Structure 1
Amino acid sequence: MGTGIVSILLHTLSTIYTSYHASLNSLSIIFFVFNVFLFTLIFMISVLRYTLYPATWNLMIQHPVQSLFLGTLPMGFATIINMFALVCVPKWGGASVQVVWGMWWIDAAVSVACCFGLPWQMMTTHKNSHEKMTAAWLLPIVAPIVAAASGAIVANVLPDPQHALWTIVTSYVLWGIGVPLAMVVLVIYFHKLAVYKLPPQEVIVSVFLPLGPLGQGGFGIMQLGSMAMKTFPKTETLHPMAGEILYVLGFGVAIIMWGFGLVWLFFAISSISRSKFPFNMGWWGFTFPIGVFTTSTLTMGEELPSAFFRILGTAFAISVTALWLVVAAGTAKNVLYGNLIEAPCLREIEKARQMKLETEAQFGA
C-alpha cells in the first residue's frame, strides 16, 4: 500500500508539473513495478503459509488484531489497478482495458467481503475491549472506499459508456458502504483516546490511520463526480444535469472531509511528537494514510484550481516519498537481522504453551 501510493503520487505530480514529466513518470513506473513485485511476493508467501500450515488460518482469523489486516490485501491490489489504468492501458490498449476492469471487480468483491465479514467476526468471535481498541479497526472498512476511488479511475479508461456507468454506480455504493461505517468507528476511536489516552508506543503510528478514509473518501467522491458528469449525459442517466450536480456535491463533500482530516492530522502529529517509539512494521502506517490525504489535496488543487492546494499537496507528496525511503531502509535493515516479521497469533499460542509447561513443571516439582 505504501509503495503503491508513492507511485500514484509521482504519476500525479508528473501530470501537474509537465516540465518534469519524463523524470517523475519514470520514477512512478519504477515504484509501480517494485510494488507489483512486492505484492506478488507477499501474496505468494501468504498462500504458501496457509496451504502448508492450514491451522494458521484459523488462528489468524480468530485474532482480534491480526485478522483486521486482511483488509490491506484489496487496498494494496487497488494501487496496482490504479497504476495499470493510468499507465498500462493508454500504452497497451486492446485487451488491457478488459483486464483492468476484471481486476477491479475482483478487488471490489474482496473489499466488500472484508468490510462485511471482519466486523461481523469482531461482533461474534473476538474478545474486544474499549481501552485496547486501535485505529486498525478501520482497515477492513477502508477497503471498499479505496475500491470506490479505483472504480472512478477504471471507469475513465473504459470505452463503453454503459460499462463505465455500471462501474460508477457500483463505486458510489462502495463509497456508501465504507465512509459512513468509518465515521462510526472514528467516533468510537475519539472517545477511546479521550477516555483512555494515547495508544501504547508500539502502535502509536496507528493514529495516522483515520486519514485513510477521509483522504481516500474525499478523493474518491471527487473522481466519481467528475466521471458522473462525463458519463451520465452519454447514457441518458437520470436528469441531464445529474452528472453536474454530483460533481459539485462531490467537491463539497470532499473539502469537508479534507477539513476533518486536518483535525486527525493534528492529533497524529501531536501524538508522535511527544512519543519515543521503536521501529516496527507499524511504521508503514505513516505512508498510505498521508498519501491518500495527499491525493485528495492535489485533486482539489486541480479542480478549483488553487495554487495553495497544489503547493501543499506537493509538499505532502515529497514528505510521503521521504517517509517511504526512511521506512523502507528501516524495514530492509530489520528484515536482514530477522527481528521484524512475526505472527501475533502464533506468538500468543507460544506464550500459552510456555505457561502450560511452567505450570506442569511447578506441579510436578
Structure 2
Amino acid sequence: MTEVGLDAEESFVERTVSAYDNPGIPYEVASTIPDKRRSKWREIIIGFSPSWFTACMGTGIVAVLFYFIPFEARWLYYLSIILFILDAILFCIISFITILRYALEPTLWRATLTDPAIAPFLGTIPIAFVILIELWVFICVPLWGEWASTLAWVCWIVDAIFAVIITTSLSFQLMSKSHLDSLKMVTAVQLLPIASTVIASGVGAEVAGVLPSHGRAQATLVASFVLWGMAMPLSGIILIIYYQRLAVHKLPSREVIVSCFLPLSPLGFGSYSIMYMGKVARSLLADSEPAIAIAGEVAFMFCMLIGLIIWSFGLTWFAFALASIYHSWPFPFNMGWWGFTFPLGVFAASTIELGLGMSSLFFRVLGTVFSAIVIVLWIVVSLGTLRGLWKRSLLVAPVIPVIPREEPIPSDGFSSDFW
C-alpha cells in the first residue's frame, strides 16, 4: 500500500485493485474491528457500501424504459411492473443493510462523509428512491387514483429536500475541505450528488402532471424548474473541470473506466426534465385565457429546443465514453459496471422524449435501440453481480482509511468503489 504523499491516482488504483483481489473486509476496515467480532455475516454487511444503490438505479431505469418504449406491446408493460417490484425489494434490502452497516461500525459513516471518492455515492440514494417514485407515477397512479398521486407528491417532496441537501453539502465540502486538492483527483463521480437534484426535477414534473389539484401542480412544476436551475449549471461547471482533468492527466485507470459514462446522467435526464417540464407547463396552461395558453405553447417549444441542445451535448460525451471503453478494453468486472445501465438508460429516455415531443420517428426508433442496448447490458451486469455475490468477490467495502476510535479522521485517505 502506498504511503501518504505519493501520487493520488496511483495510490487509488493500487488500493482499489487490492480490494478486488482480496475478498472480505479490507485490512483498513478490519483493523478497526476486533477479531472476535468478525463473523461471516458481519463481513458481508460491512462489505456493502452506498455504491450498491447503483443496482437499484440500473434496475429502475430498465423498468422505466420498458414502460417508455414508444411501440405499444402489453408484455412490455407487464415487464415494467415486474422490474418495478424487483427494484422496490432491492431498495428496501440495500437500505436496511446500509443502515445496519453504519450501526455496526459507526466509523465507516465518518469515513464516508470525509472521503471524496465515497461521499458522492450518497447521491445514489435519492436517485434510486426517486426512480421508484417515477415508476409509481406511471404504473400505480393510473390504477389507484388520487391517493396514489398524493403519496407520490409527498414522497417526491422528501426526496427533493434530501437531493438538495446532498447536492449543496457535498459540493461545498469539495470547496471547504483539503481532501481534494489536485486536478488529477477530480473524477466523474463528483457528478452523482448533482445528478440527484437534476433527476428530482424531472420526476417532479411527472408528479405535477398527475396531481388533481391545479394549484399543487403549478407549485410543484415551479419547484421542478428551480431544482433544474440549481443543478444543471453546476453539472456543466463540473464537466468543464472534468474535461480539463482528462485533457491534462488522461483517462482514468481500467478499473474505473466505466465512470466515463457518468456525464450522461445529468445531461440525459437534464434534457428529459426540461422537455417534460415544458410538456406539463403547456398542459397546465391549456385551459387558461388564450394569451396564457399561447405562452404555454411557447414554453413547450422553448423547452424542447433546450432539451435538444443538452441531448446533443450528451451525445458528445457518449462518443467520448465509447472511445474510452474501446481504448481501455479489457477491464475487470466490478460494481462499476452498473455505470453502463443508468446513464445510458436516462439518455435513451431523453431520446424517446425527443421523438414524442417532435413527432419524430427517427428519435423514437433511436431511443428504442438505445433502450434495447441498456436492457442487454442490464442482463449482463445483473448476471455478473449475482456471480460476484455467490463468490463474495463483490462484498468488499471500499477501502476506507484507518479511523482510530479516539483520534481524528485522517485527511489524506482516498478510496473508491467507482460506479
Query: What is the TM-score of this pair, normalised by structure 2?
Result: 0.80
Matched position secondary structure for 2:210:
coil
1:205 pairs with one of 258, 271, 296: 258
- Structure 1's 180 and 236: CA in aligned 2 closer, same or farther, altered over 3 A? farther
Tell me what 2:295 maps to.
242
Tell me what 1:298 maps to.
352
CA-to-aligned-CA distance 1:270-325 (integer Å, 9 cap, x gap)? 01012121001011011110000000100111111111111111100000000000
Which structure shows the higher helix fraction?
1
> Within the alignment, does 1:27 sit opposite 2:79 as a pair?
yes
2: CA distance, partners of 1:44 / 1:336? 20
1: CA distance, partners of 2:164 / 2:265? 17
Matched residues, percent identical? 43
Shift of 1:236: 7.2
Q: Please, which moves more after superposition, 305-314 or 235-244?
A: 235-244
Unaligned runs of 5+ in 1: 351-365
Tell me what 1:331 maps to.
385
> Within the alignment, does 1:193 sit opposite 2:249 as a pair?
no
Moved over 4 A (4+): 233-240
2: CA distance, partners of 1:174 / 1:237? 29
Tell me what 1:341 maps to.
395
Pairs aligned (count): 346
2: CA distance, partners of 1:205 / 1:310? 26
Map 1:103-142 → 2, pairs under 5 A? 103-128=155-180, 129-142=182-195
- Structure 1's 235 and 123: CA in aligned 2 closer, same or farther, altered over 3 A? farther
Shift of 1:39: 0.6
For 1:304, give the aligned amino acid: M
2:276 pairs with one of 223, 238, 256: 223
Q: Does the aligned pair in 1 maintain the 2:282–2:293 contact within 8 Å?
A: no
> Within the alignment, does 1:164 sit opposite 2:217 as a pair?
yes
2: CA distance, partners of 1:325 / 1:298? 21
Tell me what 1:288 maps to.
342
Map 1:14-163 → 2, pairs under 5 A? 16-18=70-72, 20=73, 22-128=74-180, 129-163=182-216
Shift of 1:177: 0.7
How large is the RMSD of aligned CA atoms in angstroms?
1.7
2: CA distance, partners of 1:240 / 1:29? 36
> Within the alignment, does 1:317 sit opposite 2:365 as a pair?
no
Q: Does the aligned pair in 1 maintain the 2:146–2:212 contact within 8 Å?
A: no
Structure scoring higher RCO (CA < 8 A, sep ≥ 6) equals: 2
Shift of 1:237: 12
Q: Does the aligned pair in 1 maintain the 2:146–2:211 contact within 8 Å?
A: no
> Within the alignment, does 1:7 sit opposite 2:60 as a pair?
no
For 1:144, give the aligned amino acid: T
2: CA distance, partners of 1:215 / 1:270? 18
Matched position secondary structure for 2:297:
helix
Shift of 1:51: 2.4
CA-to-aligned-CA distance 1:89-131 (integer Å, 9 cap, x gap)? 1111242121111010011001100100111112222511211
Q: Does the aligned pair in 2 maintain the 1:60–1:345 contact within 8 Å?
A: no
